[in-house]
Structure 1
Amino acid sequence: MKKYTVFLLLFLFASLVAEAQNKKALQSPAIVEKADSISASLGKLPPSGRKIDTVKVEVPNIYVWKITPRLGERIFIPRDSAVIDFHKSMLVDGKGVAIGYLGNVGSPLQSKIFFERPEPSRFIFQDPVRAWRKGPEDQIFYNTKVPYSEIKYQSGGGGESAENRFQGEISMNMGKKLNVGFDFDYIYSRGFYNSLSNKGVSYDLYASYIGDKYKMHAYFQNNNFTIIENGGISDTLYISNPDHPNVVNNGNFKGSSLDIPTRMQDTWNRLRGRNLYVTNRYDLGDDTETYPVNDSVMGTRKKKDYVSLASVIFTTHYTDQRRRFNSNYSNIANVYTPQLWNGEKGWTTLSDPKYEANIDDYMSYYSFKNTLALAMNEGFQKWTKFGLTAFIEHDLRKYSMPFLGIEESGTMYGLPGASMKESEYSLLVGGVLTKEKGKFLRYRATAEKDLHNSDYRLEGEITTRLNFRNKDFSVKANAYIKNISPSFFQNNFSSKYWNWKDMGLKDTRRVYIGGEIIFPELSFSQTRISGGVENITGLIYYNQEKKIAQSNEEIQVIALRLDQNFRSGIFHWDNQAVYQYTKNEKALPLPQWSLYSNIYLTTKLAKVLTLQLGADAYIHAKYHIPGYEPLTMQFYNQQDMKLGEFPVVSAYLNLHLKYTRFFVMMYNIAEGMGNGQSFSLYRYPVNPRVLKLGISWQFNN
């Protein structure tokens, strides 16, 4: 109770400070004319956000953008200052319509919506924690008139099950062109089930320089994650049917989630890594002109509405990621059986593991990537209605994994700590054709080919606006064809118990077409419809034995999504519905339908305090929900049980005053109701009912 009282007092104090700061921040914005060097008001940005037509616009005190990692193009985005649904931004469930995760903030997760899943990276062990670490494409860059800082804190539960997350950021300009910043993210979640906790520490330093001719973005990021693994609960009956005799006869189970036995303990995964990224862009051409000051004196000034003929781009990205799997669990041999992939013989079960000591398996990945590009800029002449960029990219990669020796008899051997190393490289050439200016038509097409490997990509996107009865519809279509070679750690894996080498996986080919329609906003509703169809040949996945496998047939995936929001006065009802079809449910299981619904009231108190009071729910169809395997750190396709149709319902209160946001929510209020199948992943239940709190406090001074 003391903690909740402190939260309330902190919110009230922050609100008073924010009120005082607001008077300072609302100064007269500047008027700018050059579109290339500075962003426009967010409300006047074109939908793509990459470039802005040259017009006089008001510039806010703070504006932000992301960049494309290869070419460093700026994509202007709204700043995180949402008045409503603040509780969603700080919850794992809020990252999508249907998310599968271990239960904790900071734990491995996977979207159950196929088209929301990113492609597997070259270091697949970091993919499950992708949501908790940032790459260059995720970094937000700032331009501020006054120093900006923000802190966020969220908490749930207490004692042995407490989960906490603290985030902090500071950014400031040193002149009009140079900005530097730092942000920090600390997660510590003890978990509501035995031996299921995690800690994450990540931070990054970043800088941007936006000059008239030279632009630079730099970013250094470090991450450190420790995930205590329990392999899931030992029996799903503890959640789905706690009155079952197998549960009742367990004298140690008293009804608490911490009483439920788990498959393992004293086992953990550690992930460490860093990124160093710098992109430079220099505009060629002379942006000055002479003009007569008087009859005898000539002056120099900047050309009006100048667009450079071309730009030279050079990007460097260094990354290294490491993963270590350890276990001191004495009964780990009851969980894992030693198995070896033996070429044409397939999987062989062995009597002994690779070594006798406790598990200590280490894998690492290193990449040093350099990109050189030459861009012809859109609009440097009246007849150039498009931009064209050519690039070449070299990527040197190195890998290490535990040593794997195979004797003629078919047995394996190795030592903990001993490693084997491999290296490879790619050499990409490609081009980008864009039209980013204009009101009614924009497009972007990318083509690239790896000259050293079999990978290639063709991607395209086109956006237009249609007018019907004086109402604008936004219509977008996108498509791609990709040929993706398997990564080193898909073809090779080495540990104390499971091992495969040179698996011989084939390339994966993906062909997709999709689109989106955004309907005109009405006084009572907002509607958006999107969808797509993809055919996949050679899909790589982890089967019900938790081992890597590849589909020999073409798999088709169809998805349709409806975002439909209603409002009437202070009443709001927001909905997201997704339909999915998969041709092969063993290789690619997906819920046929997934729903998110949010009913709330929102109003202003005393004209300054925004209040949102409501309840939301997540639910999806029954299907063979994926499992998670700590040994490989991958999600696998179990076939033992269909789970789903359980609503995760939460009641919440959001408050917003100037620069301060606060939420309090009761999570999973439907616990113990319905069909009892409250599982996020197979053997990983949703957390029990718990009170959660969060606060965000921005400083602008």
Structure 2
Amino acid sequence: MKIKFFAIITFCLFLSELSSQVNPKNAKKSDSGKSLGRDSTSVKRTKEIKKVASIDMYLQFSIEGDSTVVDTTLSIKKDYKFNYLQRDNFGLMPFANIGQTYNALSFNIADNRTNPNFGSRARHFNYIESDDVLYYEVPTPWTRLTYKTAFEQGQMLDAFFTVNLSKQFNFSIAYKGLRSLGNYQNALTSTGNFRLTSNYKTKNNRYKARAHIVMQDLLNEENGGLLDEDIENFVTGDEEFIDRSVFDMNFQDAENILVGKRFFLNHSYDLIKKRDSLNKNSLAIINEISFEDKYYQYRQNSPSVNYFGDTFTNNINDKVTLEDFRSSLSLSYNNNILGNLKFGIDYTNINYGYNSVVLLFPDEIILNRIKTSFLGANASYSKTINSIKLKGSAGLNLSDEFVGSYIDTNLSFKLNDDIHLDGGLFISSRLPNYNFLLYQSDYIDYNWYNFEDFKNVNTQQIKFNISSEKFFNASLDISNIENYTYFGVSSDTNRDNVVKPMQYSDPLQYLRLKVQKEFRVGHFALDNTIMYQNVISDEDVLNVPVIITRNTLYYSNQIFKKAMTLQTGITFNYFTKYNMNGYDPLLAEFYTQNETELGGFPRLDFFVNAKVRQTRIFLKAEHFNSSFTGYDYFSAPNHPYRDFTIRFGLVWDFFL
């Protein structure tokens, strides 16, 4: 524990030290055409920078160092990303209220973690992980405001600001907040994501550092969906129930929340710096420190015995915590001929669990903690030869309890200026998520300890991709999964519909083929994305729709003497019927069920998008076909999808 607190103190002192190194005088004396620094008190200096700053100078970086230019254009991809998650949600089925969970219609099996994930995955769609954080370098201060209306008494706002205090030091601060009451009873959502990042490098570029602090709280009221006897009232479109607030839900006083905070620092120093093309070698030492503290809590004042079963107490208050500390030390060697090779060791300390031991029966004790510390090893390699790129990475836990490993390789090359091909192999073995191994609840049936019983989930995947503007974009992956672990409906208890963790001992195969192509004729375009899926197994433990499709027909043009870019059109979403996963609000997890078949309904959205200078405006009539194509639309069993609604939003960029 002392190591964790020492790392956090070091992190804070590091940020303080970076701030003290910023020298406004030096920034003022630097060349106006090249420097990213600026003196905010000098009006003349501001005007000079604004004259030379172009959009390609506003850069954002991933933790791996890959850079992209800030994009302020208006395209159909921007429409796909203008949602609560702020990324393309193809393959995700939203629940009725914004900020609730999503039912995954497709699964990405490849995950290069060697440790289990924290549970409650249904709450993690909007949880910002370390790999999601971006770092920035900008010539002038940049502000972005993202706003979108919600459902009944609420809105979503994401405010972001970044500035380079000198050419060497950038920081950014952002907060995304949401509050939405929803159209159904007890469906309030209230979430917040705070991000603070810094990006620093010395003048000689020998030392580089990226750091972030992320604090998040994701609260959802949970109603358990419609009562079974009200399903018919919804499906038939009974006029008495068009006002969705009149529906009685399964429970009225339940809520769950996921809270997390993370301190992260990645910094490196070049022991041997590659100065020019004659110097073929470089050697750097890299250190990464991460400490994350998070908890998930479910509260309910009146137990739902008919829904979850008997309880230990009349006031449900389940809370599980995780303290995850990681530190790694690596050497990175780069040679013009050999390529880039990195090797490192890492240390992990984990403390997951509850505050008390549960005694179910005299001979059955549910332990309350999974605690361990262990070392690990990691390595990576990359090499570029003309248009061919080879890269790979691997990791291994040096632990008898937390056995885990992965190998991820990728080969890509360009056939010509248009066609880009890549493929790879992924192999992994790791324990199931923590809530499969240990769970405690005030509900008696929701207590288990499987740490010694469940085996590692073993995954092998081959993947291929082709990208072509002229022809099409396609991706194919084929996965073989051994010891697939999932939540399912148990028949080992006296009650029906008891959700328990299960492990499928036989191997299963999972295939995904995704194809995307846009056709253009003048100012009109038809963008198509279709996915085919197939699962081969002796039992129905992994259910997915065979076909998922999204098709958008739209018109795009510049009007008012090219002062405005206008896009308008209709988007069609559809997936075939299948046994859709059910949602358990106590676990905040989806579970496999094979009794209710859902899907096969169209979703039509009409949109009008516009861009004026640096402002993008989005207006959408969502699911406008809901009243005339049938009320058989569900996001999960007993959980209806959204009715027709009109929503407005905008993205406003300021470059000072």
Q: Which moved more, 1:545-554 or 1:589-598?
A: 545-554
Whether contact under 8 Å (2:150, 2:156) holds in the other structure is no
Which residues of 2 match residues 35-434 of structure 1 at below 5 A?
60-67=56-63, 73-85=64-76, 86-91=78-83, 95-115=88-108, 122-157=116-151, 161-211=152-202, 212-235=205-228, 236-242=231-237, 253-285=240-272, 303=276, 309-329=282-302, 332-338=304-310, 353=311, 355-379=312-336, 383-384=337-338, 386-401=339-354, 403-406=356-359, 408-409=361-362, 420-434=368-382
From 646, 651, 655, the equivalent of 1:691 is 646
One-letter identity of the residue aligned with 1:599: L
Whether contact under 8 Å (2:273, 2:282) holds in the other structure is no
Which residues of 2 match residues 457-606 of structure 1 at below 5 A?
457-467=406-416, 472-497=418-443, 498-502=446-450, 504-519=453-468, 521-522=469-470, 527-544=472-489, 545-584=498-537, 586-605=540-559, 606=561
Q: Deviations over 1:132-158 (max 9, x none)?
A: 12122111111111011111110044x
Aligned to 2:7: none
In 2 relative to 1, CA 305–144 (structure 1 residues): closer, same or farther, beyond 3 Å?
farther
Q: Matched residues in 2 for 1:368 and 1:115: separation?
A: 26
Whether contact under 8 Å (1:102, 1:680) holds in the other structure is yes
In 2 relative to 1, CA 240–426 (structure 1 residues): closer, same or farther, beyond 3 Å?
farther
Aligned to 1:445: 392
Deviation (angstroms), 1:318 = 0.4
Deviation (angstroms), 1:489 = 2.4
Q: Deviations over 1:467-515 (max 9, x none)?
A: 4xxx541000011111112243211111011111236111110000011
Equivalenced residues, count: 588
Q: Deviations over 1:414-452 (max 9, x none)?
A: xxxxx93331123211211111x4541001111221111
The secondary structure found in structure 1 opposite 2:123 is helix
Q: Deviations over 1:650-697 (max 9, x none)?
A: 101001122101111111101033353211222221111111000111
In 2 relative to 1, CA 409–309 (structure 1 residues): closer, same or farther, beyond 3 Å?
closer
One-letter identity of the residue aligned with 1:633: A
In 2 relative to 1, CA 401–101 (structure 1 residues): closer, same or farther, beyond 3 Å?
farther
The secondary structure found in structure 2 opposite 1:490 is helix
Q: Matched residues in 1 for 2:524 and 2:278: separation?
A: 46
Q: Matched residues in 2 for 1:562 and 1:103: separation?
A: 28
Q: Deviations over 1:109-163 (max 9, x none)?
A: 2431122786897453453233312122111111111011111110044xxx244
In 2 relative to 1, CA 286–369 (structure 1 residues): closer, same or farther, beyond 3 Å?
closer
Q: Matched residues in 1 for 2:165 and 2:84: separation?
A: 36
Deviation (angstroms), 1:31 = 11
Q: Matched residues in 2 for 1:598 and 1:412: separation?
A: 55
**Two-structure CA RMSD over aligned residues (Å):** 2.6
Q: Deviations over 1:394-418 (max 9, x none)?
A: 11000122534326556889xxxxx
Q: TM-score, normalised by structure 2?
A: 0.85
Q: Matched residues in 2 for 1:496 and 1:691: separation?
A: 41
Q: Matched residues in 2 for 1:595 and 1:286: separation?
A: 50
From 582, 585, 588, the equivalent of 1:627 is 582
Gap runs ≥5 in structure 1: 1-26, 33-57, 68-72, 288-301, 339-352, 414-418
Deviation (angstroms), 1:260 = 1.9
Task: Provide the identity percentage.
Answer: 20
Q: Matched residues in 1 for 2:411 and 2:125: separation?
A: 28
Q: Matched residues in 2 for 1:679 and 1:59: separation?
A: 43
Highest RCO, 1 vs 2 (Cα 8 Å, sep ≥ 6) = 1
Aligned to 2:46: none
Deviation (angstroms), 1:59 = 8.5
Q: Matched residues in 2 for 1:574 and 1:396: separation?
A: 47
Q: Matched residues in 1 for 2:177 and 2:110: separation?
A: 25
Gap runs ≥5 in structure 2: 1-30, 37-53, 490-497
Q: Which moved more, 1:303-312 or 1:207-216?
A: 303-312
Whether contact under 8 Å (1:361, 1:496) holds in the other structure is yes
In 2 relative to 1, CA 117–447 (structure 1 residues): closer, same or farther, beyond 3 Å?
closer
Q: TM-score, normalised by structure 1?
A: 0.79
One-letter identity of the residue aligned with 2:260: G
Whether contact under 8 Å (1:448, 1:457) holds in the other structure is yes
The secondary structure found in structure 2 opposite 1:543 is strand
In 2 relative to 1, CA 189–115 (structure 1 residues): closer, same or farther, beyond 3 Å?
same
In 2 relative to 1, CA 107–678 (structure 1 residues): closer, same or farther, beyond 3 Å?
same
